[in-house]
């Protein structure tokens, strides 16, 4: 019996908890994904309900795998997650308040459970499996509803005193600018995010007099996907909104380079996938505002991992790293 | 003879090369300073002349100490110094172009020589001996002719891909703002530095109509020390210039916290010493623009080391650390 257990290969679970969807994967010790799934987070049903459903999916799949494998740990990626104390700190799109997710998960599994910020998980995913392989200095920016960031410098994920370093979305670019959910004005993510570009469309609907389909769509109906489609079909306001977003983003990234001196910046998430609508103006203004010594030297890349997968892989990598205490420092 | 050498205690030299003055110190292995000196850098005489004079001072003093001590290494702190390749990269106030300072020093001493950015040296000095003792996350800002910074996060000095991370003075706060020596516009140090506050005085001499002694002083005659003296004697334009500098500095530091999540920010250099003329408005605007979770939690401190001493101590500590390969990672 003991031999049988000893023969079993260790596997880990990685979970990426988002405001709308939750993705999970099971990875073996050769970094092979054995199982992938996603389901609706339904945060409005509460955090207890969420973990009940998550645990059931993991248990069900683990029963299928348990002949050959043994579950060694679970890594959770979530917005506003603090790896130091295991909590999420009132993320706007979950509304669960301050909850200790490690304790929630341990109710179902008596195993090592680790938690990290979703953007940090994406950075680790890119480092282990994606565009940042072999890089010691890079930054991952996740362009979703908000703007997340994971900073990996000198071979380490940056954490800071409270595990909250690198919240680039909440750097203020204009103290008199757009109202942010954080209570302040002019945070970068009020301009550079799915909601940011939507707000920019309404800026141009107000300030320009160009016609087009966007004048028939309400704020609540409009999506960043729709803005991409219209920009591709040459809608002038949609194009202006992308260029404006790219200008602000490029300027901000030039400063980011001055702070961190990365080899590359990796863009991730829906807006980053919108062909070159965003990346072209971003790169133009990035180069324009870069400090001379960095010009043409810092790459802006797209994620090499499928949508949503980087954070799941990063969460697997993170917990696997903690279990095995490998040399890669997180 | 061998025994005699073995009995000798190891000492290191730390040198802080500034645009006007160069300070140096000799430290024993108990972190005791045995000798301190400073001399005019006279950069206009060239880098060869400088190292000839520096080497002579070190040699002369070492002859006095060599009965009991053996010189184990030299640490050099200089503006725009790159610890990875040993060079300084055209710092504006030295005008020596790109020079390898390690090679220059090794012409005179066949010993381990290490080089680091002057602000990074100040950060290490504060960490080893000053206000940042026992801190794992802090930032040192040196307010001199320019604005330097040393970033110490997660127990490490931040270096980045080319050893240039943390050049906070060259983050752009207004792309249409003041012309900077780097060729771009609106860098933070064009506002927050000895020259920055002088430029702000001239902004208010232009835009306000208040009277005072400042209207009798030319740009080239004016010093930041004079602005401090006048502010202390209630000159309205001098006070406005300090408040304006503090507002810009406080806003910038609030963003710095969002990037790095430090426990404290430590101010260093002439302007920082000007009583609370700068730190009062800086702290006010810092708190005003901080992300909620950080309010009242991040300290702004003054250097605990005498003027100019932090970088000398940091340079000693740096080379001593390299020689002994201690656990503190730089």
Q: Where are the domains of chain B?
A: 2-124+308-324, 134-302
pLDDT of B256 over the 60 cut = yes
Tell me whether residues A262 and B163 touch, CB distance under 8 A. no
Mean pLDDT, rounded, for A49-55 = 97
pLDDT of A233 over the 50 cut = yes
Topology of domain A2-124+309-324 in CATH is: Nucleotidyltransferase; domain 5 (3.30.420)
Q: Which residues of A touch B (CB under 8 A)?
A: 89, 136-137, 153-154, 156, 158-168, 170-172, 175, 182-184, 251, 254-255, 258-263, 289, 291-293
pLDDT of A3 over the 70 cut = no
Per-residue confidence (pLDDT) for residue B3, from 0 to 100: 45
Of A234-248, B167-181, B296-310, give the lowest mean pLDDT range: B296-310
Which CATH number among 3.90.1150.10, 3.30.342.10, 1.10.10.10, 3.30.420.40 corresponds to the domain A134-302? Answer: 3.30.420.40
How near does any CA of chain A get to the CA of B268, in Å? 19
pLDDT of B19 over the 90 cut = no
pLDDT of B30 over the 60 cut = yes
Tell me whether residues A160 and B261 touch, CB distance under 8 A. yes
Mean pLDDT, rounded, for B185-204 = 96
Tell me whether residues B262 and A153 touch, CB distance under 8 A. no
CATH superfamily, region B2-124+308-324: ATPase, nucleotide binding domain (3.30.420.40)
How near does any CA of chain B get to the CA of A294, in Å? 10
Mutate to test the interface with B, among A136, A149, A159, A161 (most CBs of B within 10 A): A161
What tokens were used for A285?
């203004």
Neighbours of A317 (CB within 10 A): 24
Mean pLDDT, rounded, for A103-121 = 94
B262 interaction partners in chain A (CB closer than 8 Å): 160-161
Closest residue in B to A135 (Cα) is B161
Of residues B139 and A293, the one with the higher pLDDT is B139
Domains B2-124+308-324 and B134-302 share a fold: yes
pLDDT of A4 over the 60 cut = no
How near does any CA of chain B get to the CA of A86, in Å? 17
Mean pLDDT, rounded, for A195-208 = 96
- Categorize the per-residue pLDDT at B7 as very low, low, confident or very high, splitting at 50, 70 and 90: confident
pLDDT of B279 over the 70 cut = yes
**pLDDT one-digit tens code per residue, B34-88:** 999 999 999 999 999 999 999 999 999 998 898 999 999 999 999 888 888 899 8
Name the pTM for this structure.
0.89
Mean pLDDT, rounded, for B200-229 = 96
| ipTM summary value | 0.88
- Give the whole-angstrom CA distance, residue A97 versus residue B34: 56
Per-residue confidence (pLDDT) for residue A7, from 0 to 100: 78
Q: Which residues of B touch A (CB under 8 A)?
A: 89, 136-137, 153-154, 156, 158-168, 170-172, 175, 182-184, 251, 254-255, 258-263, 289, 291-293
């Amino acid at each position: 019996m003991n031999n049988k257990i000893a023969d079993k290969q260790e596997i880990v679970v990685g979970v990426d908890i988002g405001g709308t969807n939750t993705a999970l994967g099971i990875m073996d010790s050769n970094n092979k994904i054995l199982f992938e799934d996603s389901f609706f987070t339904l945060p409005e049903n509460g955090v207890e309900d969420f973990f009940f459903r998550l645990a059931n999916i993991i248990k069900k799949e683990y029963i299928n795998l348990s002949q050959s494998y043994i579950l060694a740990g679970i890594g959770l990626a979530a917005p506003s997650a603090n790896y130091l104390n295991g909590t999420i700190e009132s993320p706007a799109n979950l509304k669960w308040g301050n909850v200790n997710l490690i304790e929630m998960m341990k109710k179902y599994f008596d195993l090592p459970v680790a938690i990290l910020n979703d953007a940090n998980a994406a950075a680790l995913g890119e480092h282990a499996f994606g565009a940042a392989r072999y890089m010691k200095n890079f930054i991952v920016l996740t362009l979703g509803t908000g703007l997340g960031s994971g900073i990996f410098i000198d071979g380490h994920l940056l954490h800071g005193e409270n595990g909250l370093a690198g919240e680039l979305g909440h750097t203020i670019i204009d103290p008199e600018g757009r109202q942010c959910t954080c209570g302040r004005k002019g945070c970068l993510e009020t301009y550079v995010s799915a909601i940011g570009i939507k707000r920019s469309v309404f800026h141009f609907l107000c300030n320009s007099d160009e016609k087009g389909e966007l004048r028939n769509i309400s704020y609540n109906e409009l999506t960043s996907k729709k803005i991409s489609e219209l920009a591709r079909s040459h809608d002038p306001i949609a194009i202006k909104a992308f260029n404006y977003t790219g200008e602000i983003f490029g300027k901000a990234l030039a400063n980011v380079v001055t702070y961190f001196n990365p080899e590359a910046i990796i863009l991730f998430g829906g807006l980053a996938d919108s062909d070159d609508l965003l990346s072209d103006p971003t790169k133009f203004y990035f180069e324009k505002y870069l400090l001379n010594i960095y010009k043409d030297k810092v790459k802006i890349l797209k994620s090499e991992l499928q949508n949503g997968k980087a954070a799941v892989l990063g969460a697997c990598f993170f917990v696997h790293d903690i279990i095995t205490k490998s040399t890669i420092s997180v």
